[in-house]
Structure 1
């Protein structure tokens, strides 16, 4: 099956995932995480991409971002990836590729999925049995979105701002969300949409994206599109 083109739309949030080659480690010490976040901030500003949530795992990265231009996310990830690979190769006297290839991404229906994806990202260390609660993991946006740490690279999304009329109330409401389990089917929905370049959203949002981009936002039902003329003509009776 040919690889689907990425969907990029200014003003629409994206969930971005980049993994280490063969799922090998991409971060080796605290200084690596610090440098990556510093460059994420730099290139996010340069290419007008707002960063809302992130987690840096040992061998992969999750980001929740909103670009202001069609190619902002691609330019951000390309520049960040190239810089970080050079840094790692020089620092650890290694050669060759570090990342798995092109990053994965999906458009996110902010009204229905933004806060779910944000929680999913920050819960990654818990899902990996690295910590019992996201507050225990130092390399995620949880400390800025839910706690008192000031993280300069973060830009609050409208969905986050709607949680309360003050920063204190928003953080408290956001922490409260983590008391509720994300259903397994929702986690799978997020993972499938991101890995397969489908759109993460309700039917109305998907239809809107299809109309604007001319590309399908979700896979065809198994057995083909039963509404299509081609399916009816080729159906074996």
Structure 2
């Protein structure tokens, strides 16, 4: 049975995760992380995708992006994945795959879940007990979104911009949000919908997606999601 295409619509944010093959590392030094982010910036700009949040973990990557047109995120991930694998194989004189199959993605309802996904992504190192303070983790967008540190990769989403009238108001508001732990229900919902590649949001949001794509975008109702592995 052929696999269904991903849910993909212009101007709808997507939460994307790509894992290392067999959960093995995909970054070995900080030089690798710098190279990945440089390539991501170049390719996302070329394709017309805005990156709002990211985190580079040892063996996987989370991205929050909005495409200007359908198909752009797929092209970003394909180009980025191939270029980065060539770089890693050349640098470390290795062969074979680096990534675990296709990336996974979930459309995100900007009205109900977008800022939850910002926080889910940037607080990943805290949940993984790699740091107690997300600001101390250098390989995420938290320093930019919460403190205004320069990060040319990031394009703020209008929902983020609505947190305040000035940059300082937005940083303060976002820091306050980041200090609040996501509920277990929110964590489970984000993980479950990403794993199943369903649209994450209200019933109204999913119905609108289904009407545009003429296919199911998720379960008819959101119950309590089944448990999935934590720390990602």
Q: TM-score range by the shorter chain?
A: over 0.9
In structure 1, how many angstroms separate the alpha carbons of the residues matched to 2:75 and 2:2?
A: 23
In structure 2, how many angstroms separate the alpha carbons of the residues matched to 1:129 and 1:84?
A: 27
Task: Return 5+ residue gaps in structure 2 as ranges.
Answer: 222-232
The 3-state SS of whatever aligns with 2:113 is helix
Aligned to 1:19: 19
Counterpart check, 1:54 vs 2:54: yes
In structure 1, how many angstroms separate the alpha carbons of the residues matched to 2:157 and 2:178?
A: 18
In structure 2, how many angstroms separate the alpha carbons of the residues matched to 1:162 and 1:20?
A: 35
Aligned to 2:154: 154
In structure 2, how many angstroms separate the alpha carbons of the residues matched to 1:5 and 1:90?
A: 32
* 2:7–2:217 Cα contact (<8 Å) kept: no
* 1:9–1:69 Cα contact (<8 Å) kept: yes
The 3-state SS of whatever aligns with 1:62 is strand
Where do 1:1-237 residues align within 5 Å? 3-219=3-219
Aligned to 2:230: none
Q: Offset of 1:183 from its aligned partner? A: 0.8
Count the aligned residue pairs.
Answer: 222
Q: Offset of 1:5 from its aligned partner? A: 2.1
The 3-state SS of whatever aligns with 2:111 is helix
Q: Offset of 1:220 from its aligned partner? A: 5.3
In structure 1, how many angstroms separate the alpha carbons of the residues matched to 2:174 and 2:151?
A: 16
In structure 2, how many angstroms separate the alpha carbons of the residues matched to 1:134 and 1:111?
A: 25
In structure 1, how many angstroms separate the alpha carbons of the residues matched to 2:119 and 2:2?
A: 32
* 2:64–2:118 Cα contact (<8 Å) kept: yes
Q: After the TM superposition, list the runs of 4 or more consecutive aligned residues in structure 1 that deviate by more than 6 angstroms.
A: none
* 1:11–1:66 Cα contact (<8 Å) kept: yes
Aligned to 1:235: none
Task: Return 5+ residue gaps in structure 1 as ranges.
Answer: 222-237
The 3-state SS of whatever aligns with 2:18 is strand
Please tell me the root mean square deviation across aligned C-alpha atoms, in Å: 1.4
Q: Offset of 1:185 from its aligned partner? A: 1.4
Q: Offset of 1:110 from its aligned partner? A: 0.5
